[in-house]
Structure 1
Amino acid sequence: MQLEGDYLKDDEEQARHTELLHSLVISHVLFNKLEIFGETFYTYNFKEHHFNNYVDAALEFTITPDVKVDAGLNYGLQKASQKEYFLGFAFRY
């Protein structure tokens, strides 16, 4: 679980707003180096008084203990919420 507060730049004007993000993630190791996870999260924009809800899913493959690759999707549940696909690369040094 995660709770996050952000102070973000507005898209359409020279101003900023505050957002709250809350998430819950569940994961499971399928094989020795392959993990699947699902997440649900929402954001709340205090300036516009607007919620965006998302459901995510991804696969994560461990190349080495310090290098991982993941791919998945973020699916917005409202019509105005974005739907995004992603491919990520993470490393620890």
Structure 2
Amino acid sequence: MTIISDFRTYDGKHCETTATGCLLFHENIKISEPMMLGLSQGFGFIYWKMNFMNLPFIGGRAKPFDLTRVFCSNMNIELDERETTSKKKA
């Protein structure tokens, strides 16, 4: 296993932008989390009010990994994503 000795962390609030920010920061690319969200075309938004609900639901969400895919596409960054069910390979 390769250990990166000088790895610096990125202080973000969202799991996906934080992970992406860490990788960019390691390459000396410094982009704010709001900028990353904008370049990844951010979150969806919903305001949902039904008669049976005491309060409306206000929320937002992006599909898993879509923020990173769209961000990389908009920034012309090559993205190599891999998925496995193997604990050993992971």
TM-score range, shorter chain: under 0.3
TM-score (norm 1): 0.26
TM-score (norm 2): 0.26
Higher helix share: 2
Q: Which is bigger in relative contact order (C-alpha 8 A, separation at least 6)? A: 2
Higher strand share: 1
Higher Cα Rg, which structure: 2
